[in-house]
């Protein structure tokens, strides 16, 4: 059995991972969600798939993470093969703000950066630290993997090439979490553990924009125009969560410990973000 812990599993990419991986009976899935009561699709999947276990935990709350780690420990005999850090924070509020727009709004700057870093960087560190003993035990037999879902917004060249001046605090937090993988790699480079930042591509996590308000729809359209201007060869297609997950898992299956510390795309390269 291959054991997987996936955070942020209640929707979008996280739910896509659980659906795809649970179809293989050789996988045992631990799906982490902040709230079981709002994870209807995930609970339905758990009721149908014996290898899916839905667990409630907030990645910013170490106590809840430790409770979940104990469940995983007992179920696997003390090991964990793959940790996918998918849980993240992306607030639509001030999503179209550039950094200079915080002039005179420094309290909002503090609030936004704190919220994004608390989840997208610090939450990932806390999650890795809690599950690290189980991963190190797994690494004694085969390559253990820690995959953190990042974003093109965390790449310096991409921001400049596409004039992506907004989503500023989010982009800062994603750049920071890319460094997290490098730091863990430097610390555990002599152990059989891979730490990687992985971009999922440009994914429609709202399902063809259902439920999106007018501002969000306009933002999607603006992003497509800017991305096409920066990458003229891109066809403008937004990936479904299923398409993104399929591509990412194919890339993950080919990784070796030599890839540790990198930030790569769902295609397995370093700049083909779309």
The answer as to whether 272 is a domain residue is: no
The answer as to whether 203 is a domain residue is: yes
- Are the C-beta atoms of 140 and 80 separated by less than 8 Å? no
Which of 5-9, 39-43, 85-89, 204-208 shows the lowest mean pLDDT across its residues? 204-208
The answer as to whether 206 is a domain residue is: yes
Position 215 confidence tier, pLDDT thresholds 50, 70, 90: low
pLDDT the model gives residue 142: 96
pLDDT in tens, 184-201: 999 999 999 999 999 999
Please give the positions annotated as active site: 170, 174
The answer as to whether 153 is a domain residue is: yes
pLDDT the model gives residue 206: 54
- Are the C-beta atoms of 135 and 129 separated by less than 8 Å? no
What is the C-alpha to C-alpha distance for residues 38 and 31, in angstroms, rounded to an integer?
Answer: 14
The answer as to whether 258 is a domain residue is: yes
* 205 has a pLDDT exceeding 60: yes
CA dist 215 to 92, 108, 171, Å?
A: 9, 20, 19
Position 271 confidence tier, pLDDT thresholds 50, 70, 90: confident
The count of domains in the chain is 1
pLDDT in tens, 108-141: 999 999 999 999 999 999 999 999 999 999 999 9
The answer as to whether 273 is a domain residue is: no
pLDDT the model gives residue 69: 98
pLDDT in tens, 228-251: 999 999 998 889 999 999 999 999
The answer as to whether 269 is a domain residue is: no
pLDDT in tens, 148-193: 999 999 999 999 999 999 999 999 999 999 999 999 999 999 999 9
* 207 has a pLDDT exceeding 80: no
Query: What's the whole-number average pLDDT of the chain?
Result: 94
What is the C-alpha to C-alpha distance for residues 55 and 66, in angstroms, rounded to an integer?
Answer: 12
Provide the strand spans (E) within the chain.
2-6, 27-33, 52-56, 82-85, 144-149, 193-198, 263-264
- Are the C-beta atoms of 212 and 206 separated by less than 8 Å? yes
Position 213 confidence tier, pLDDT thresholds 50, 70, 90: low
pLDDT the model gives residue 216: 66
Q: What is the CATH number of the domain that holds 107?
A: 3.40.50.720
- Are the C-beta atoms of 149 and 86 separated by less than 8 Å? yes
Q: What is the 3-state secondary structure (H, E, C) of 103-132?
A: CCCHHHHHHHHHHHHHHHHHHHHHHHHHHH
**Mean pLDDT in residue range 208-231:** 76
What is the C-alpha to C-alpha distance for residues 140 and 153, in angstroms, rounded to an integer?
Answer: 35
* Ramachandran sector of residue 79 (left: φ over 0; alpha: ψ -120 to 50; beta: rest): beta
pLDDT the model gives residue 208: 45
The answer as to whether 271 is a domain residue is: no
What single-letter DSSP state applies at residue 237?
P
If you write DSSP's letter for every residue of 7-43 in order, what string do you get? SS-SSHHHHHHHHHHHTSTTEEEEEEES-GGG-HHHH
Q: Is 91 exposed, middle or buried (0-12, 13-18, 19+ CB in 10 A)?
A: exposed
pLDDT the model gives residue 223: 87
State residue 141 phi and psi, 5-degree precision: -110, -40
Residue 221 CA, distance from chain mean position: 23
The range of the structural domain enclosing residue 251 comes to: 2-264
Beta-bridge mates of residue 269: none
- Are the C-beta atoms of 131 and 57 separated by less than 8 Å? no
């Amino acid at each position: 059995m291959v054991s997987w812990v996936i955070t942020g599993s209640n929707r979008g990419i996280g739910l896509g991972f659980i659906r795809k991986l649970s179809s293989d009976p050789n996988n045992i899935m631990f799906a982490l969600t902040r709230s079981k009561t709002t994870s209807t699709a995930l609970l339905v999947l758990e009721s149908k798939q014996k290898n899916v276990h839905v667990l409630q935990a907030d990645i910013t709350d170490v106590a809840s993470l430790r409770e979940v780690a104990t469940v995983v420990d007992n179920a696997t005999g003390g090991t964990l093969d793959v940790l996918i850090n998918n849980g993240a924070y992306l607030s639509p509020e001030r999503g179209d703000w550039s950094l200079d727009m915080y002039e005179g709004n420094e309290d909002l700057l503090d609030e936004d950066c704190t919220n994004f870093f608390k989840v997208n960087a610090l939450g990932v560190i806390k999650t890795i630290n809690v599950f690290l003993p189980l991963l190190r035990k797994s690494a004694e037999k085969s390559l253990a993997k820690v995959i953190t879902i990042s974003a093109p917004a965390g790449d310096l060249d991409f921001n400049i090439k596409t004039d992506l001046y907004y989503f500023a605090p989010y982009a800062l937090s994603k750049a920071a979490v890319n460094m997290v993988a490098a730091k863990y790699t430097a610390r555990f480079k002599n152990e059989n553990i891979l730490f990687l930042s992985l971009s999922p591509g440009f994914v429609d996590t709202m399902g063809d924009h259902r439920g999106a308000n007018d501002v969000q729809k306009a933002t999607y359209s603006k992003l497509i125009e800017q991305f096409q201007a920066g990458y003229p060869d891109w066809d403008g297609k937004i990936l479904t969560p299923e398409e993104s997950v399929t591509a990412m898992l194919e890339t993950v299956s080919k990784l070796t410990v030599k890839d540790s510390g990198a930030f790569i795309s769902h295609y397995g390269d370093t700049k083909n973000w779309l």
